[in-house]
Amino acid sequence: MRQGDEAGSSAGEAAAGAGTGWMPAVGRLHEVAGSALGPSWVAARERIAATHEGRVDGPYAVLARQPELAVRVAALEEYFRLASSLPGPERELVTLVTARQAGADFCWAVHEHAGARAEVVESIRSGAGAGLSDREALLIELATALAAEGGLSAGLYARAVGELGEPGVVEIVTLVGHYRLVALLLNAFEVPAPASEAPVPEGQGGIGAASRTG
């Protein structure tokens, strides 16, 4: 995997830094003192911690070095948590597909048990596609194409609009883009996953229609 082997120590220290005026070393990044972060980080840290169970870790441990950017990235995540038209399990499905395609251990670990059905998680993990509804299979196919290819074929786009409507497709494209950004931050700076979590499954590829149910 692209991320480092120091899982647990860096991630845990970054979470601990949420309650203080400093950010510890994480992945490739060095420790930053509170005086270097400046007062803008205090407000950013409080806003992010309030929606992340008191933690400032993962991509936000990276973005702490640019507090205004951290707030703007967090605002998009807050939209998906609080205002999205997509049901929570479907957002988690799309997020897991994106994490798998990007090989983002931290993102997979955080979202693996965050609301997607166990059968869906296993299908994404294995690539087999067993036990999926038609809608779930379409969402996986859609997210896979976006994350792996950066676009949609005419046929897939038509099926997606037919099932989700144009607003729904816009949300899914934006959601994949958001977690591609998260994955880039995690991978480029080698932010480790929590030590207790298994890494994201290796491999690429979509889910075949033959295994769909419902």
User: How many domains does one find in the chain?
Assistant: 2
The model's pTM: 0.77
Cβ count near 59 (within 10 Å): 25
Residue with tokens 């609301």: 115
Residue 132 C-alpha from the chain's centroid: 21
Residues 68 and 112 grouped into a single domain: no
Residue 133 lies in a domain: yes
Residue 141 belongs to a domain? yes
Higher pLDDT, 90 or 20: 90
Q: Do 93 and 181 have their domain in common?
A: yes
Beta-bridge mates of residue 212: 132
Same domain as 92, residue 77? no
Per the domain annotation, does 1 fall within a domain?
A: no
Domain boundary pick from 37, 57, 82: 82
> Both ends of the chain: CA-CA distance in Å?
35
Q: In the structure, what pLDDT confidence band is assigned to residue 111 with cuts at 50, 70 and 90?
A: confident
95 and 74 both lie in a single domain: no
- Rounded to whole angstroms, how far apart are CA atoms 202 and 124? 11
Residue that finishes a domain, picked among 52, 82, 112:
82
One domain for residues 141 and 104: yes
Range of the domain at 61: 9-82
**Does 47 lie in the same domain as 95?**
no
pLDDT the model gives residue 25 = 84
Are both 69 and 146 inside the same structural domain? Answer: no
- Position 73 confidence tier, pLDDT thresholds 50, 70, 90: very high
Domain boundary residue, one of 30, 58, 82 = 82
